[in-house]
Chains A and B, each alone.
Chain A
Amino acid sequence: MYNAPHPLEVRILTRRFGLPNSASIDTYLAHDGYKAIEKALAEMTPDKIIEEVKASALRGRGGAGFPAGLKWSFVPRQSPKPKYIVVNADESEPGTCKDRLLMENDPHQLIEGALIAARAVDAHAGYIYVRGEYRYLIDILDRAIGEAYQRGYLGKNILGSGFDFDLHTHSGAGAYECGEESALLESLEGKRGIPRIRPPFPAVVGAFGCPTVLNNVETFCSVPWIILNGGAAYANLGTRKNGGTRLFCLSGHINRPGVYELPMGFPLPRMIEEVGGGVWKGRKLKAVIPGGSSCPVLKAEETNLPMDFDSLQAAGSMLGSGGVVIIDEDTCMVKAALRIMRFYAHESCGWCIPCREGTMWLGKLLTRFHAGAGTMSDIDLIRELAQNMLGKTFCPLGDAAALPTISIVKKFREEFEEHLNGRKCPHEGKG
């Protein structure tokens, strides 16, 4: 827990945050812990579990927002191959720091979510792929997994049901790209994190060539509550086709940055003003990155939106991973574009030409431009190069680099012009 909770929060996934020893199995068990798997094993068929998750309108919390229940239903349960559960805990999208809290404060909720998914698709082994930087979380998870084995919630014959499930942590070692599901699977198999050609999708050919359910930490964490309280109850928390709550990570120029659990469709202006306490230093809002640095930025005047997948998409941006980055009026958007591009250039896996060369070139170009050595034609060049990447790369990383760039050039062109003719960045030193 790094920030005080806010009264507007609807605490579903975070309801045990702040309890003493919230990560321990005893705390978990004292607060509904492992009741959902008990219910699932005792009362529900695998199909019923999937139906419930479908009914919840739970959509993937990693960024793409794909309906979780539908994804699970793609797993060919009759396949003679073993099936796997893979938890994407490679949280790396700039602006996003929610999975960290879920694992730190309530690891058993994640374990239980993975367990229920395993039951639903008849998987008997699973992996939590945790980014290498989150070593302390691996330790927390390992302890929790150990507890779960000890109490019979993992391993053979879980709760006497005859169902077996083994769960392991797996450390990454520094690669944003491994947050992309197929690259993550490559990495899990001990290879370079290069995405795979799809189809086939992981539900059919995933980990070790076998059918696999792969979801984000937050997605799995939502599952126990859904099973206990019903899909409909979860769906009702949010908006149409956008069930439940979501952990929004407020960061940047805001008075009360932090991670807040809010219903899907929560209005962005209220999120900024009421939950986050407004833009810092009494400044005006310039822009918002609504879902991690891969999303097109919204200008202040475009921010009157409910925060759900469909509304953001309609507004030309994305809900993404829940990283809401607030940018004030004294910020240089050229610098922001540059910093974002540097990141993608650093993280491009190098597989396909447009992403590999495009991010490198744009990184160099934006660096020069921000230093005042740009020309008017460079502004169009930046946009064109980004456009040449968009929709043409092997995986979404190219789009992730192109989209914010295109939106910044389009929406803040005058700021680029302010850097022309060797002029010093007008925002330098304001911070």
Chain B
Amino acid sequence: MPELVKLTIDGKEIEVPAGTLVINAARQVGIEIPAFCYYEGLALQAACRMCLVEVEKAPKLLTACTLPVAKDMIVRTETPQVAAARKGMLEFLLANHPLDCPVCDKGGECELQDMTFRYGAGESRFSEEKQHIEEQQWSPVVFFDRPRCILCFRCVRICNEGMGVAALGVINRGARSEIAPNKGDHLECDECGMCIDICPVGALTSGIYRYKTRPWEMEYAGTICTHCADGCKTTLSVRNGRVIRGNNRDHSGINGEFLCVKGRYAFDFLEHPERLHQPLVRRGVELQHASWKEAVALVAAKFNEVRERGGAFGVIGSARTTNEENFYLQKFARSWLNTNNIDHRRSGDVVALLDALAGLPGSLATTADVYHAGAVLIVGADLAQQHPLLSFQVRANVRHHGARVYVVHPHPQREDKVAAQVVRARGLAGIGQIREKLAGEQSLVVLFGEHIQGADVRRLVEMLPATARYVALVDYANSRGALDMGLLPDLLPGYQPAPAPGLSLQEMVGASLDVLWVVGANPLQGRARASGFLVVQELFLTETARQADVVFPAAAAYEKTGSFTNVCGEVQRLKKGPAVAGPKTDLEIMGLLARQMGHELAPPLPEAVFEEIRRSVAGYNIPYATFVTGAASATQYPNGPIARQGSSELIRSARDTLFTSGTLGRYCSVLNSVRERDLVRVEE
């Protein structure tokens, strides 16, 4: 613990740890010292001079953003001298600012506007001609308006320090200084939009959102991203039932300020012209529109018929549907369709990890652990491409806590740049090379990819210190939840053994089952169906849906309530963004089928199913209040051996990049528009 230092800010005495900056000390007593360039977590700049404060005995005003507290320091943050200085700074800033607030995207959310309002620098004494520079488009999603830019360099720092991309820089000098993209007139980067989000003014604007609306005309729903497994909160801005933008401006999720290109922009699939809005039923060779009533009746009849004659069902679930839906689906399959033929596409060996951690409680790392751990080992994973939040956490950890990062991967990775050691080798063999070093790491978080599976997972755990915490990396938003909810042929929810293991996904797609029911997955990509009757719940007419007998149009995660469990095993709540007409949530569809089949499974209400999960699934008895207030709750794992049955060495990551997202990604026009280079590839 650093020693505490007592000081006085605006007459309030406080004690803070030595080394605290005055700007942060002030915050602790509710005093907001204004700043443009200061941004917590990024390098200090002292460039905007807005945070000047009076310090007793100092000959001139000092910047609170670079001033560490000192014993008995007396700080005044709102004296006439300070207010005059700030007003002066604003006057300088506004001198060349275009003042096009009425049409600026940032209007209403602009820090410069707010500050001008606060310090009353509303009148201009600047009568010289302003320097005009045409707006530039740097990428499909990033636009830059130089005259609006106040050169706070937040964008440059977040791109460099936060993202590790360094796609933005500063060119020229003096009043001609400009933020510039890395490719002359355009950007080649992650397209994460962090630069736009962090811009205090309307200099960097989003190609997706710009000139669409005013911020006060929207409603906001903070939900969980539907793409990768990291579980970032994305706040959907909705106007007239349409999502206009995604961001995480209130920093309330596990991701803080972070969002990648997918979390921020890849919601446009919701309005893709090929989105299914009506059920489809095969009539002859063609799939034709049908009413919900007709489609549900048809499927229910078929299910009942096969069920009654003891026919074979196969059920394939999804890594993007909610825990409630997955739980309901497996319950439907097991208790009503009497089958353990249930599976989903698995992308990381969580099961082997949990088994290996039997007797080692508390050995799963949370998202926050990746930021706080003393050391991070990354094995066989392209974190920057596949787990952008975890990658962000690793970099932040290095910047803020000096974490030691070990990268074990046969190919160069972004994390190499911040690594204490890089081993250009694969898996356990690679770890073997640094085993001694790792043995000394008492606070180690291990992130490992799909290649370490089965018995290797146990070997990994045995090689590393007993205090190490782990994340088995998986692909999609609810990949982890699908496992926890028992979308597995051999394991029930909570990893309890299934009495008689069923068929795996790979076996099901090749088997001639009487019914194959696919909920939110595309297992028949590039292969013909083998089963007798195929029911698909989907957003789009995928390769699988195209072969179906009945297709139900499903709602997307952004149109649902429910929960996801992220890669670290943290449960978070989905909030419904836009209302959708036509499609129904998978839970509703299942409910309709159950009712039509004359079976009272359980009320198909997310809240009701969630309660059942909390009660019945081991590890999911999470605090309800935490859940409903939108925070993440870490689940517990069985902490005992898991009885795996049959061969399930079928794990394979889809190796999505930042710009792909499985089948869903194909319907995200923004992702496709920034994919230009296709240079990005996740190396095995």
Give, as a whole number of angstroms, the nearest-CB distance from A379 to chain B.
13
For the complex, what is the distance from the CA of A388 to the CA of B93, rounded to whole Å? 12
Task: Assess the A391–B60 pair: CB atoms within 8 A.
Answer: yes
For the complex, what is the distance from the CA of A346 to the CA of B95, rounded to whole Å? 18
Closest partner residue, chain A, to B90 (CB atom): A353
- Scan residues 288-329 of chain A and give those whose CB is less than 8 A from a CB of chain B: none
**A394 contacts B by Cβ under 8 Å:** yes
Given A356-B174, A360-B174, A381-B125, A391 contacting B61 (CB threshold 8 A): yes
User: Which residues of B lie under 8 Å from residue A352 when comparing CB positions?
Assistant: 46-49
Task: Assess the A353–B92 pair: CB atoms within 8 A.
Answer: yes
Task: Assess the A356–B52 pair: CB atoms within 8 A.
Answer: no
Given A354-B88, A391-B61, A359 contacting B48 (CB threshold 8 A): no
**A30 contacts B by Cβ under 8 Å:** no
Closest partner residue, chain B, to A388 (CB atom): B88
Task: Assess the A197–B49 pair: CB atoms within 8 A.
Answer: no
**A208 contacts B by Cβ under 8 Å:** no
Chain B 83-96 per-residue mask, 1 if CB under 8 angstroms from chain A, else 0: 00100110111011
Task: Assess the B170–A353 pair: CB atoms within 8 A.
Answer: no
Specify which of A192, A353, A368 is in contact with B47 (CB 8 Å cutoff).
A353
User: Which residues of A lie under 8 Å from residue B85 when comparing CB positions?
Assistant: 388, 392
Chain A interface size band reads 20 to 34
Task: Assess the A354–B47 pair: CB atoms within 8 A.
Answer: no
Most chain A beta carbons < 10 A, residue from B49, B52, B60, B61: B49
Most chain A beta carbons < 10 A, residue from B50, B125, B129: B125
**A171 contacts B by Cβ under 8 Å:** no
Task: Assess the B44–A197 pair: CB atoms within 8 A.
Answer: yes
Specify which of A175, A346, A392 is in contact with B88 (CB 8 Å cutoff).
A392
Given A354-B89, A361-B95, A394-B49, A368 contacting B128 (CB threshold 8 A): yes
Most chain B beta carbons < 10 A, residue from A346, A354, A393: A354
User: Which residues of B lie under 8 Å from residue A391 when comparing CB positions?
Assistant: 60-61
User: Which residues of B lie under 8 Å from residue A351 when comparing CB positions?
Assistant: 45, 47, 151
User: Which residues of B lie under 8 Å from residue A347 when comparing CB positions?
Assistant: 174
Give, as a whole number of angstroms, the nearest-CB distance from A304 to chain B.
28
**B64 contacts A by Cβ under 8 Å:** no
Give, as a whole number of angstroms, the nearest-CB distance from B272 to chain A.
44
For the complex, what is the distance from the CA of A192 to the CA of B47, rounded to whole Å? 15
Task: Assess the A348–B126 pair: CB atoms within 8 A.
Answer: no
Give, as a whole number of angstroms, the nearest-CB distance from A369 to chain B.
11
Task: Assess the A356–B126 pair: CB atoms within 8 A.
Answer: no
Task: Assess the A357–B88 pair: CB atoms within 8 A.
Answer: no
User: Which residues of A lie under 8 Å from residue B125 when comparing CB positions?
Assistant: 381
- Scan residues 134-189 of chain B and give those whose CB is less than 8 A from a CB of chain A: 150-151, 170, 172-177
User: Which residues of B lie under 8 Å from residue A350 when comparing CB positions?
Assistant: 151, 170, 172-177
Closest partner residue, chain B, to A361 (CB atom): B95
Task: Assess the A392–B47 pair: CB atoms within 8 A.
Answer: no
**B621 contacts A by Cβ under 8 Å:** no
Give, as a whole number of angstroms, the nearest-CB distance from B408 to chain A.
29
**A206 contacts B by Cβ under 8 Å:** no
Closest partner residue, chain B, to A346 (CB atom): B174
User: Which residues of A lie under 8 Å from residue B24 when comparing CB positions?
Assistant: none
**B496 contacts A by Cβ under 8 Å:** no
- Scan residues 27-48 of chain A and give those whose CB is less than 8 A from a CB of chain B: none
**B66 contacts A by Cβ under 8 Å:** yes
User: Which residues of A lie under 8 Å from residue B60 when comparing CB positions?
Assistant: 391-392
**A365 contacts B by Cβ under 8 Å:** yes
**A141 contacts B by Cβ under 8 Å:** no
Closest partner residue, chain B, to A399 (CB atom): B60
Most chain A beta carbons < 10 A, residue from B50, B93, B128, B175: B175
For the complex, what is the distance from the CA of A352 to the CA of B61, rounded to whole Å? 15
- Scan residues 390-425 of chain A and give those whose CB is less than 8 A from a CB of chain B: 391-394
Specify which of B48, B128, B173 is in contact with A353 (CB 8 Å cutoff).
B48
For the complex, what is the distance from the CA of A196 to the CA of B126, rounded to whole Å? 30
For the complex, what is the distance from the CA of A5 to the CA of B394, rounded to whole Å? 65
**A364 contacts B by Cβ under 8 Å:** yes
Report whether over half of chain A's contact residues are helix, strand or loop; otherwise say mixed: helix
Specify which of B49, B126, B150, B151 is in contact with A361 (CB 8 Å cutoff).
B126
User: Which residues of A lie under 8 Å from residue B151 when comparing CB positions?
Assistant: 350-351, 353, 356
The total of chain B residues at the interface (CB under 8 A) is 32
For the complex, what is the distance from the CA of A347 to the CA of B177, rounded to whole Å? 12
Closest partner residue, chain A, to B89 (CB atom): A353
**A249 contacts B by Cβ under 8 Å:** no
Task: Assess the A392–B49 pair: CB atoms within 8 A.
Answer: yes
Task: Assess the A345–B47 pair: CB atoms within 8 A.
Answer: no
Specify which of B44, B45, B92 is in contact with A358 (CB 8 Å cutoff).
B92
**A334 contacts B by Cβ under 8 Å:** no
Task: Assess the A394–B46 pair: CB atoms within 8 A.
Answer: yes
Give, as a whole number of angstroms, the nearest-CB distance from B190 to chain A.
24
**A12 contacts B by Cβ under 8 Å:** no
Give, as a whole number of angstroms, the nearest-CB distance from A236 to chain B.
32
- Scan residues 76-132 of chain B and give those whose CB is less than 8 A from a CB of chain A: 85, 88-89, 91-93, 95-96, 125-126, 128-129
**A115 contacts B by Cβ under 8 Å:** no
Give, as a whole number of angstroms, the nearest-CB distance from A358 to chain B.
6
**A114 contacts B by Cβ under 8 Å:** no
Task: Assess the B174–A359 pair: CB atoms within 8 A.
Answer: yes
For the complex, what is the distance from the CA of A388 to the CA of B49, rounded to whole Å? 11
Closest partner residue, chain B, to A381 (CB atom): B125
User: Which residues of B lie under 8 Å from residue A360 when comparing CB positions?
Assistant: 95-96, 174-175
User: Which residues of B lie under 8 Å from residue A368 when comparing CB positions?
Assistant: 128
Task: Assess the A345–B175 pair: CB atoms within 8 A.
Answer: yes
- Scan residues 365-391 of chain A and give those whose CB is less than 8 A from a CB of chain B: 365, 368, 381, 385, 388, 391
User: Which residues of A lie under 8 Å from residue B92 when comparing CB positions?
Assistant: 353-354, 356-358, 361, 385, 388
- Scan residues 440-478 of chain B and give those whose CB is less than 8 A from a CB of chain A: none
**A349 contacts B by Cβ under 8 Å:** yes
- Scan residues 539-587 of chain B and give those whose CB is less than 8 A from a CB of chain A: none
User: Which residues of A lie under 8 Å from residue B61 when comparing CB positions?
Assistant: 391-392
- Scan residues 28-53 of chain B and give those whose CB is less than 8 A from a CB of chain A: 44-50, 52
Task: Assess the B174–A353 pair: CB atoms within 8 A.
Answer: no
For the complex, what is the distance from the CA of A346 to the CA of B176, rounded to whole Å? 9
User: Which residues of B lie under 8 Å from residue A364 when comparing CB positions?
Assistant: 128-129
For the complex, what is the distance from the CA of A346 to the CA of B88, rounded to whole Å? 21
Task: Assess the A357–B95 pair: CB atoms within 8 A.
Answer: yes
User: Which residues of B lie under 8 Å from residue A346 when comparing CB positions?
Assistant: 174
For the complex, what is the distance from the CA of A356 to the CA of B174, rounded to whole Å? 5
Chain B 482-505 per-residue mask, 1 if CB under 8 angstroms from chain A, else 0: 000000000000000000000000
For the complex, what is the distance from the CA of A353 to the CA of B174, rounded to whole Å? 10
Give, as a whole number of angstroms, the nearest-CB distance from B51 to chain A.
11
User: Which residues of A lie under 8 Å from residue B128 when comparing CB positions?
Assistant: 361, 364-365, 368
For the complex, what is the distance from the CA of A368 to the CA of B128, rounded to whole Å? 9
User: Which residues of A lie under 8 Å from residue B50 when comparing CB positions?
Assistant: 353
Task: Assess the B174–A348 pair: CB atoms within 8 A.
Answer: yes
Task: Assess the B49–A359 pair: CB atoms within 8 A.
Answer: no
Closest partner residue, chain A, to B128 (CB atom): A364
Closest partner residue, chain A, to B126 (CB atom): A361
Given A361-B128, A394-B49, A348 contacting B175 (CB threshold 8 A): yes
Chain A 144-168 per-residue mask, 1 if CB under 8 angstroms from chain B, else 0: 0000000000000000000000000
Closest partner residue, chain A, to B52 (CB atom): A392
Give, as a whole number of angstroms, the nearest-CB distance from B38 to chain A.
12
Task: Assess the A356–B88 pair: CB atoms within 8 A.
Answer: no
User: Which residues of A lie under 8 Å from residue B177 when comparing CB positions?
Assistant: 350, 356
Task: Assess the B175–A197 pair: CB atoms within 8 A.
Answer: no
Closest partner residue, chain A, to B87 (CB atom): A388
User: Which residues of B lie under 8 Å from residue A353 when comparing CB positions?
Assistant: 47-50, 89, 92-93, 150-151
Instruction: Name 14 interchain pairs, CB-CB below 8 A, sorted by A.
Output: A192-B170, A192-B173, A347-B174, A350-B175, A351-B47, A352-B49, A353-B47, A353-B50, A354-B49, A356-B174, A356-B175, A388-B88, A393-B49, A394-B46
Q: Residues of B at under 8 Å CB distance from A?
A: 44-50, 52, 60-61, 66, 85, 88-89, 91-93, 95-96, 125-126, 128-129, 150-151, 170, 172-177
In addition to A357-B95, A391-B61, 4 A-B residue pairs with Cβ atoms within 8 Å of each other are A197-B44, A359-B174, A359-B175, A392-B52
CB-based closest 6 A-B pairs: A388-B88, A350-B177, A357-B92, A360-B175, A364-B128, A348-B174
